[in-house]
Amino acid sequence: MNLATNDRDGLGDLYACQDKIGYRFRNIDLLVSALTHSSVKSEMKSDPSENPDCNERMEFLGDAILGMVVTEEIFQRFPDYSEGELTRIKSFAVSRRTLAKLARSIGLPDHIRLGRGMSDHKSLPISVLANVVEAVIAAVYMDTGYESVRNFVINLLSPAIEAAEHGHPPLNYKSLLQQYTQRHFDKAPVYRLIEESGPNHNRTFVVVSIINGNEYCRGRGKNKKEAEQRSAKATFNLLKAQARSKTSDTDVNTE
């Protein structure tokens, strides 16, 4: 049975769907399968002639492709970032929540084919929406190959990658500084409280980062945790700037 031509209930306009995702399929049946939830197949078990392909297996393939494309992209885009920074960006970009938000932003739920027990497209679980995005990624790969799906994924997820780069979700600078200092100094930083002031209901704390016995940047906050994060952020940014400056000086001297 050709679902693309004979059974499009719940899918909406497939041409409109392709406009939303920014890709035209050579084999439209791949898109139909990617948009078909397993609840549809479950309802048709009683009729062997009705055997629609659902997106379960495609989710599996799409998840692997998504991880590969995003990993490759951020590895090339951020050559100075540590493994921890790259992992944070990737985790945010490929998360269930990010993919579900993306699906909603482009109107993908309107085109998902659901069983009668899941007929409310407006209140679909995050997992269902994320799985459909992964299945569509697999469909693009199956339709025209890796280069096409790479471009497709980057176009969809570049905003999420850029948001993660600029600290959404917020960066854990204590973790980043520890990774950096262990790699370059073979030591973890310690934080020393050097000032505490103000009334009990409105205290202010000042903390300094110490690496190998040397004091670096100070941080001020309403509690020790906030002060340590700000101290770590300032110290991390200082060390990265110093490293970039040394690299630039080396490049100039070798010309």
Spatial contact of 1 and 7, defined as CB atoms under 8 Å apart: yes
Separation CA 243–CA 182 (nearest Å): 15
Separation CA 10–CA 120 (nearest Å): 10
Q: Which amino acid is at 147?
A: E
254 φ/ψ angles, rounded to the nearest 5 degrees: -95, -5
195 φ/ψ angles, rounded to the nearest 5 degrees: -155, 140
Residues 6 or more apart whose Cβ sits within 8 Å of residue 206: 193, 194, 195, 196, 218, 219, 220, 227
Residue appearing with tokens 């299945």: 135
Catalytic residue, chosen from 59, 73, 85, 134, is 134
3-state secondary structure of 249: helix
Catalytic residue, chosen from 59, 63, 85, 165, is 63
The verdict on whether 134 is a catalytic residue reads: yes
The catalytic residues are 63, 134
